Structure 1
Amino acid sequence: MANLDNLATLIRTLSKSEKRYFKWSYPWEPGDKVYGDLYDMLEKGQIPIQEIKTKLKKIYPDALLEPASKHLYKMLMRSLRNYEADKSVENKLITLLGDVRILFSKGIFELCFSEIEKAKTLAYRHEKFGYFLLFARLELQYLTNLEFPDTDETALLQKQDKINDLLYHELFINRHASLYELLTYRYYKQGNVRSDKETARLNDLLLDESQVNATNKYSSFESDKLHLHFQSTYFLMTGSPEMSLQISKELNKLFQENSGLWSDSPVYYIYLLHGILTNLYFMKQYADIPYFLNELEQLKPTANSLLLLKQHLVYFHQIGLSSAQGKHKEAVAAAREYEENFLAKKILIPPNTQAAMYFRLAVVYFGVKEYSKSLHLVNEVLNTSGSFISSQLYVLGRLLHLLIHMELHNEDYLHYEIKSVERKLKKNKKLFTLEKITLQFLKKWLNMQDRTKALQYYANALAELEENDYENQLLHQFPFRRWVQGHLQKTPFLEVKI
């Protein structure tokens, strides 16, 4: 059961229309219901939890807060379920499942089986095979209980064969999904491969995926989607963004040809477009970005959380494109607009996605020498719970954190922090080449009288790193080479051409 902190978060994330629907469903007046006053106080979002408890105790001396909070939570969840009831195929199927069980228990059998058939047709048409199987098994259970009215043996066998076919396909999808989930886990936790050993481990997954794919007997949107997305992610991780992008475009075509299967819940497509735009950014194919960015902007999710996620990603890629094209004033303007619309309002975004934006904003402000602002944003990245942030993003955050302190001339702090970062990365086995040469450069910077030599060492080492397929992907996240050349040429690094 949710505690008051969970309730406060839930209420804070409600859209205006969701709040109106809740208050319309459960009207109250101030001082009328303890759960109503609790809701009003939590909605304001500025009253500490302990103060809320004290105020409610004064108004309702005999009331217990825990039962009131549990009741409010149940009411909110019921309201949200009702509000979303007809907005997606899955919600419609869940509603139908409840209706079918009620109809059977009330003895209204003809309508019950009619609703089951309706649900099966809807589930099959939208490739919700798990729901189809649920209704199909329920149908056979009810037919058995009623001693098979109006059902001959041929019809019974056909129903059973259909269940077996879809069970086999669901098993195939589950095996395929398991491999894709494992690959995606490695991507988010480890980033691109950075050693031959990691490549070999991915090749084992690729072989498993090929073997699973060979067993597919039934083509569906879900199975095709999983295969293409696995291939795209594999090539992205192994340093072949061109192949990854090519497959992602095939995947985008698949989505566009089957929009009826996902349009009510477009979260997967939102992340697909995000992946395509990220690939284009890394490959410096900036001319293609506006098309896919427009595709993302045109989506109109019904769920408020998805709408906010979409808007967040639009800002993320607009800022990235402006920075990459040297339009730094536009990038800063978009960054400030994003802060006003999202950060100032504390809008909730998935942690790793939010941390990626913090890092991108930190890079933008670093480029225009707003180092204190950049430092604050990097700290937001590093303060994100380790279980919710990718290893690659964390490492880049630590490196940028060091460079900011170098620019701020915090040399005493740098001595301590370099040792801390090195120790942390060694412990986690994440001390790869970029990290090593950056830490080595900073040590030289602190200890050498001729700091130009330290800068030159770093510039040469970074140039060699460009040829390393395992390492150069990280160089797209922050302009390390331009930054060091800016110091060598005594020029703002945003003006340096490489």
Structure 2
Amino acid sequence: MAKADILVRLINTLTKAEKRYFRLHSSLQRGSKDYVKLFDLLERHSYKNATAVKKAFHEQYPRISFEVCSKYLYKVIMDCLLYLHLQHNDTARLTSGLLKTDILFQKSLYEEGYRQLRKIQETARTSEKQELLLWALKQEMQVLQQLNFPYLPEKSLLKKQQYLQGVLQDIGQQLQHTALYEQLRYQWLYKGAVRTAGQKEALNHLVERERQTAGKTQEAIRTHLMFQAHYALITGYYETALQHFRTLNNMLETRGHLNTVAPIDHLQVLEGMLDSLRSTRRYRELSVFLEKVRQFKSDAPYLDVMTQRLVFIYELASHIDSGNFAAALALQKKQAPALLKKIHLLDVSQQAEIYLYLSLVHLGNEDINSAHENLEIVLQQSALYSNLPIFRTFKLIHLLLHYELGNYEYIRYETRAFRRHLHADNKRSFLLEKTIIKFLRNERLFTISTRPSNLWKKMSSNFDKIKEDKYEMQLLKLFDFSAWIEAKLKRKPLGKILREKYEAELADASSQLP
């Protein structure tokens, strides 16, 4: 990416506080400030690319070099951001402190250098920043060696070396532990939930290794809980996942913990809570945590759009699950335009999720053309999205829309290819997809003598098996395909069927209360 393109994106992501500091910093500088003119231009207008920016700049300031201004502006902005980062980030402050002690040692100011180094070591130790602690310990040993170990007994030297080795071992164990969680999260994001016993078995070795490498530091405890929570999500144990995410959230909301955790990590915990609450049909508690997401404060544009996405997705999900498609459409009209303007800041999986929910809202409101348009945004870029777990849901919803339009020949053609990807050697695998395809391929369902209500009784037995199977029920989290088939067979609106199921679940939950 060209430096000018990076500059455009960088300025678009600056917060109000960062812009304010840039202007304060530039106002204190002397001499020519042509770079501020370029900043003003980029702040006031939106440009597609660097070529458009360069053209507009030359039109307004023909005697000023765009290349020189853009390079210098980038440097000044980065210097300003670095300064602000040093004021608000503990890791950055400790790193800066280590660089300063190195300068003090180079200037032979050993006493002051040692004083600051000891302070940094203690802060790094208490805040569990092991990599910085290792750096500080190595810096101390290097200086001691250069000074020929002044006034240092051999036992003290050996003790320092042993402590340094212990820190190094702790870092190695921590990296192994984090690597296992990263592998599991990658599975969750790009391979999806476990759908067969064989897939679960393949994950078991990760679980055992994670137990063996988990440490006792606060960071290790958080990583362990995140691992266990995501493992429970992947394998369909939503109550267990909810317990782990609840523990994590309580831990993070304890005074002192939020300062040691990146905001994106806290947001991931909140998203895990929302996912678990929806999966366990706890909508009242879900609304409480949605309010927590709304109150999530961050100046970073990516985190801002992440919070918008979570509120939008889970508010829509609550309306869809309860069959209130009119409220879902009203919410979509209100929130979707602002979210879609920033959708490029999200990863492809999150973008696909938004388009899927937009399509589901239109499906529930019987606006098949609009539902199809939102699906096509993803389906037409299959090379970008086809490896995502959510893509299978797109394909199934796409078939549902063609069924609504009466395109049965197209359905027969598409389902041939779809069925080849299912595991024919395991009758219990992918029962949901097989049940849906069997229904979609029978376009003469209403012309036979069997009453639709009897047909639903016969087909609902399959869905009862699906709901009892932790592997099969995973796909029903995004959309209740059984409700759509029931609506077709009973010739009722989808919203009414979902509402009946929703009220029955609420009544059942109330009856189980003590």
1:275 Cα deviation (Å)?
A: 0.6
Q: Report if aligned partners of 1:127, 1:220 keep a CA contact under 8 Å in 2.
A: yes
Select the residue among 372, 392, 395 that pairs with 1:395. 392
1:253 deviation in Å?
3.4
The DSSP-based 3-state class of the residue aligned with 2:162 is helix
- Change in 2 beyond 3 A, CA 1:468/1:345: closer
Counterpart residue type for residue 394 of structure 1: F
User: Compared with structure 1, are the counterparts of its residues 35 and 294 closer, same or farther at alpha carbon in structure 2 (3 Å cutoff)?
Assistant: closer
Provide the rounded CA distance (Å) in 1 between the counterparts of 2:380 and 2:181. 29
Q: Match for residue 242 of structure 1?
A: 239
Q: 2:439 aligns with which of 441, 445, 455?
A: 441
Distance 1:112 1:382 in 2: 60
Please say if residues 375 and 404 of structure 1, whose CA atoms lie closer than 8 Å, have aligned partners that are also in contact: yes
* Deviates further, 453-462 or 50-59: 453-462
The answer to whether the 8 A contact 1:466-1:472 is kept is: yes
Q: Deviations over 1:255-274 (max 9, x none)?
A: 34464364563321221121
- CA deviations over 1:90-126 (Å, ceiling 9, x no partner): 2222322332333333443333223222322222222
CA shift at 1:423, angstroms?
A: 6.7
2:483/2:494 contact within 8 Å kept: yes
How far residue 197 of structure 1 moved from its aligned partner, in angstroms, is 1.6
Is 1:268 equivalent to 2:265 in the alignment? yes
Q: Partner residue of 2:103? A: 102
Aligned residue runs from structure 1 range 426-465, under 5 A: 432-445=430-443, 461-465=462-466
Taking structure 1 as reference, are residues 107 and 424 closer, same or farther at Cα in structure 2, changes over 3 Å only? farther
The C-alpha deviation readout for 1:452-492, integer Å capped at 9, x for no partner, is: 99985865644443333211121121021111111222211
Query: Any stretches of 5+ residues in structure 2 without a counterpart?
Result: 424-428, 502-514
1:284 to 261, 281, 285: 281
Query: How many angstroms apart in 1 are the aligned matches of 2:194 and 2:144?
Result: 54
Distance 1:21 1:38, change over 3 A: closer
CA contact (8 A) 2:274 2:314 kept: yes
Percent of pairs with identical residues:
29
Contact 1:459–1:484 (CA under 8 A) maintained in structure 2: no
Instruction: Provide the rounded CA distance (Å) in 1 between the counterparts of 2:302 and 2:94.
Output: 22
Counterpart for residue 125 of structure 1:
126
CA deviation digits over 1:359-379, x for unaligned, max 9?
Answer: 233323321223333333333
The CA distance in 2 between the partners of 1:370 and 1:171, in whole Å, is 55
Q: Structure 1 residues 241 and 372, CA, compared in 2 at 3 Å: closer, same or farther? A: same
Closer/same/farther in 2, CA of residues 260 and 231 from structure 1, 3 Å limit: closer
Distance in 2 (alpha carbons) for counterparts of 1:406 and 1:451: 21
> Using the alignment, how far apart are the partners of 2:195 and 2:433 within structure 1?
12
SS in 2 for 1:121: helix
Residues 355, 374 of structure 2: 8 Å contact kept: yes
Name the stretch that deviates more: 89-98 or 323-332.
323-332
| Equivalent of 1:351 in 328, 348, 353 | 348
In 2, the alpha carbon distance for the partners of 1:376 and 1:14 equals 33
Match of 1:466, SS state, is: helix
Partner of 2:172: 171
1:201 to partner: Cα distance: 0.5
Residue 36 of structure 1: how far off its partner (Å)? 4.3
TM-score with structure 2 length normalisation? 0.82
SS of the aligned residue for 1:482 comes to helix
1:87–1:264 Cα contact (<8 Å) kept: no
2:4 and 2:70 in contact (8 A); partners too: yes
**Does the 8 A contact of 2:408 with 2:441 survive in 1?**
no
Q: Which amino acid aligns with 2:467?
A: E
Is the aligned partner of 1:318 residue 2:291?
no
- Give yes or no for the alignment of 1:368 onto 2:368: no
Tell me how large the CA RMSD over aligned residues is: 3.7
1:296 maps to 2:293: yes
Q: Output the CA distance in 1 between the equivalents of 2:400 and 2:126.
A: 55
Q: 1:347 to 1:10 in 2, by over 3 A?
A: same
Q: 1:293 to 1:161 in 2, by over 3 A?
A: farther
Question: CA offset at residue 249 of structure 1?
Answer: 2.5
Which one-letter code corresponds to 1:441 in the other structure?
F
* Local SS of the residue matching 1:361: helix
In structure 1, runs of 5+ residues without a counterpart are: none
* Cα 1:165/1:48, change in 2 over 3 Å: closer
- Give the Cα separation in 2 of the matches to 1:150 and 1:293: 60
CA distance in 1, matches of 2:253, 2:448: 58
CA contact (8 A) 2:322 2:495 kept: no
In the alignment, the residues of structure 2 paired with residue 403 and residue 11 of structure 1 have an alpha-carbon distance, to the nearest angstrom, of 43
Comparing 262-271 with 219-228, greater Cα deviation is found at 262-271
Shift of residue 62, structure 1, vs aligned partner: 8.0
Which residue does 1:45 correspond to in 2? 46
Does the aligned pair in 2 maintain the 1:100–1:115 contact within 8 Å? yes
Distance 2:304 2:390 in 1: 25
Judging changes above 3 Å, is the alpha-carbon distance between structure 1 residues 366 and 181 closer, same or farther for their aligned structure 2 residues? same
1:19 maps to amino acid: K
Q: Check the 8 A contact 1:35/1:69 in 2, yes or no.
A: no
How far apart are 1:237 and its partner, in Å?
1.6
Shift of 1:425: 7.6
What code does the residue aligned with 1:127 have? E
Q: Return the letter of the residue paired with 1:236.
A: L
* Alignment check: 8 A CA contact 2:385 2:391 kept: no
Whose RCO is larger (CA < 8 A, sep 6+)? Answer: 2
Map 1:72-111 → 2, pairs under 5 A: 72-111=73-112
CA distance in 1, matches of 2:312, 2:162: 49
- 1:379 and 1:35 map into 2 onto residues whose CA distance is 43
Give, as a single letter, the amino acid of the residue that structure 2 aligns with 1:11: I
Secondary structure (helix, strand or coil) at the match of 2:443 reads helix
**Deviation string, structure 1 residues 300-337 (Cα, Å, up to 9, x no partner):** 34544334423432333233234334444443333333
Task: Give the Cα–Cα distance (whole angstroms) in 1 for the partners of residues 115 and 381 of structure 2.
Answer: 51
Amino acid at match of 1:473: Q
Find the residue that maps to 2:14 and give its secondary structure. coil
CA shift in 2, pair 1:179/1:32, >3 Å: closer
Give the alignment partner of residue 402 of structure 2, picking from 400, 405, 408.
405
| Paired residue type of 1:361 | L
CA drift of 1:279 comes to 0.9
Q: Deviations over 1:167-225 (max 9, x none)?
A: 22211111111111111111111211111221110112222223334xx4xx2111111
